[in-house]
Amino acid sequence: MSGSALSLRNVTVRLGHNTVLEDFNLEVAAGERLVLAGPSGSGKSTLLRAIAGLIPISAGEIRIAGRPVQHLPPGQRAVGMVFQQAALLPHLSVLDNLTFGLRARGMRKAAAVQRARDVAGWLEISALLERRPRALSGGEQQRVALGRALLREGGLILLDEPLSQLDAPLRARLREELLRVHGLSQATMLHVTHDQHEAMALGDRIGILEHGRLLQLDPPHAIYAQPHSAAVARFIGSPGINLIPLARQGDRWHWGDHLVPGPATEGRALQLGIRPEHLKPSDDPTAWPVTLKRREILGERELWYLSGHDDLELVASQPLQPTPPPATLRIAADFDQALYFEPGDGRRIPA
């Protein structure tokens, strides 16, 4: 692993009157798996399409393996791309779909077939090589598309929600396969998704994108435990983090009548962030009194939808309980895990 496989400097992309990305910067290291996650419309697909050369950029520079490519057509950029839908050539066999790009770039047939067979082995599609795409399941088609991308010589692969059309068990399996194949191929992967589980499972680093801006770029653990802002904290974690308004009385922080530990900052107000998994029932008289509105059993865990002071809704995630919780109870927050945010822009305040 050395050098940048992909570098974006001050990239601006406009679509119609819409500036989707402005002054966007990103460096992806060779061999890295970088996942960009963000809500619908945040600019994820636009970014990948600009890198692949499918849409032009208005300003800035894109380098792939050190070489500026923004003026090159897609075919000369040495990137492989995998979309939500596999986009295979329907009249060609799987083997021909895999070798097509290699042959178009002048590789001799025997060599192309050998490389395609190697990659097919990694992806466990060797038995499917003679079939046409329409005789494959959705997951098999996606594996062929991934194989085709892996066969690009540049080793940079752009993945645009490649698993989103698949059912949950198949998605989980292909996540694992992506990790395994990445290990075998040493490819650099830039993967976009709106699925936070996929981001957490697949990213060496995760970038959180919102309105075309990168809110944070960090390894998964830091994104979860040290989010830069309430927006990042809300995006990662399922269900989302509880945000509780605190007000200062003297030099202590309060939520209504409840005294809450908090940072020594100047402001009069801040937001306390407590993840659902950091709330649990307690007999402690200082624990917050809440009303149970709804209980949802997920399997090994269950969610409690609660109403607290000022009817604020809270969600608590618990291990599956043998009996339902009472309609009113007290709930204690694990303040060692608490996060604090500015009330206005949501920036995190160190505890």
Look-up of token digits 């308004």: 245
Count the helices and strands in the chain (H runs, E runs): 8, 21
Q: How many CB atoms neighbour CB 2 within 10 A?
A: 7
Q: Are strands 188-193 and 33-37 parallel, antiparallel or unpaired?
A: parallel
Instruction: Please identify, using beta-carbon distances, which residue of 32 and 210 lies nearer to ligand ATP.
Output: 210
Among residues 45 and 99, whose Cβ is nearest to ligand ATP?
A: 45
Give the separation between CA 318 and CA 54, rounded to whole angstroms: 46
d(CA 239, CA 315) in angstroms, rounded, equals 8
* Tokens at 246, concatenated: 């605190």
DSSP class of 150: H
Closest distance of CB 13 from ligand ATP, Å: 9
Give min distance, CB of 24 to ligand ATP, in A: 12
Question: Cβ closer to ligand ATP: 101 or 212?
Answer: 212
How far is residue 209 CA from its own chain's centroid?
Answer: 9
Decide: helix, strand or coil at residue 255.
Answer: strand
Q: How far is the CB of 32 from ligand ATP (least distance, A)?
A: 21
The first and second tokens of residue 96, run together, are 């021909």
CB of 247 vs ligand ATP, minimal distance in Å? 36
Q: Which residue, 136 or 190, has its beta carbon nearer to ligand ATP? A: 190
- The site for ligand ATP (CB under 6 A) is made up of 15-16, 18, 20, 38, 40-46, 194
* Neighbouring-strand partners of residue 249: 252
The least distance separating ligand ATP from the CB of residue 28, rounded to whole angstroms, comes to 18
Nearer to ligand ATP, 40 or 323 (CB): 40
Q: How many beta carbons lie within 10 A of that of residue 297, not counting itself?
A: 11
Q: Which is nearer to ligand ATP, 5 or 37 (CB)?
A: 37
Cα separation, 228 vs 22, in Å, equals: 20
| Shortest distance, position 55 Cβ to ligand ATP, whole Å | 8
CA 20 to chain centre: 19
In this complex, which beta carbon is closest to ligand ATP, that of residue 15 or of residue 332? 15
